[in-house]
Amino acid sequence: MTITYGPDERTLWAAVGDVTLESGAVIDDVRVAYRTWGTPGEPAVLLCHALTGDANADEWWGGVVGPGLGVDTDQSFVISSNVLGSCYGTTGPADLRSGTDLNWGPEFPDITIRDMVEVQSRLLDALGVETAAVVGGSMGGMQALEWAVALPERVDSLIVIAAGATHSPWCIGLGEAQRLAIEGDAAWLGGRYPAGKQPERGLALARKIAMVSYRSPESFRDRFGRDSDGEDFAVQRYLRHHGAELVRRFDANAYLTLTRAMDTHDVGRARGGVPAALRSISAPTTVVGITSDVLYPTDEQREVAALIPTAEYIELDAPDGHDAFLIETSSMSQIIGTALGRRQRRRAA
């Protein structure tokens, strides 16, 4: 399947007003790009995407979202929105600043995962959705955890995949290396690069660094070995391809904004610490770890599950690393379908 990123004729839009961020800064006239599947009034499912994802959950999670799948669009009202700070329709650095003819660019305020959740909650308000199952992997899993801690009365089921309670020093270091790759590109121009002339080499390098962390040594060995065409190794061609693809579809300022937001992820901040925050979660919870994930190792998911009183821990045994939750769609569909099926039975009881 060819994935079409960003807004298109299927995209819906919601204006959610001025948003005061966790920092105290204000973003005026925030709009949200989103899509829905199923029938309003059915039990709602909110899908939270990862770093460079968008509202098209049926595409980036094909095999999981759709009729008869784990996120069954025949049985639920499914919502997926692009996050605050991205470049796929929801207000972000590439958008014009309200009342001006200049985009936000590098002046876009620092945001947090909590700010993303605030914008999502306003979207659900606009859609008349009071409660939902919240499902997310990676950065989406961070959002899901924030939902359950910040707005427990609105979360009736929680599925957290390949994410921890905080962003680790390991992840912060990888994010910083990616940001420095972008900022070190001569075309960066302090973030004020012209439209269509973003720092391509730096953004491509950032993506290459990220792709190594999204997979595992085993997956690279099995897929590429030391195959070479006489000039380049196969793994080099693979990384170049993904770097070029991200340059084609993503904005460098948005990449910096979102990776910084991930670094702030800490469900225990100003809540008495991680254990207190996680113990406050009352929604039935499924936490999924991936055996080969070197970015968010399974000990992080085990910690989350151990501290949430209502949590079940499931480990996905897969060689593909962090991205296994996007690759092993049959297994993920089964895990999510089982968890959401329990929610349906509770509602019917």
Q: Is 115 a catalytic residue?
A: no
Q: Which of 81, 138, 216, 219 is catalytic?
A: 138
Identify which of 238, 253, 237, 262 has the alpha carbon closest to the alpha carbon of residue 202: 253
CA 101-105-109 angle, to 5 degrees, is 110
Q: What is the 3-state secondary structure (H, E, C) of 11-52?
A: CEEEEEEEEECCCCCEEEEEEEEEEEECCECECEEEEECCCC
How many beta carbons lie within 10 A of that of residue 327, not counting itself? Answer: 17
**Residue 138 catalytic?**
yes
- Mapped onto helix, strand or coil, the DSSP state of residue 283 is coil
From 115, 266, 293, 320, the catalytic residue: 293
**CB-CB contact of 13 with 89 (8 Å):** yes
Report the relative pairing of strands 285-290 and 155-161 from DSSP bridges: parallel
Tokens 């940001």 correspond to 179
> Catalytic annotation on 333?
no
* Cβ atoms of residues 320 and 327 within 8 Å: yes
| Inter-residue contact 216 to 292 (CB < 8 Å) | yes
Phi, psi of 192, deg, nearest 5: -105, 40
From the candidates 86, 320, 322, 333, which is the catalytic residue? Answer: 322
Residues classed as catalytic: 138, 293, 322
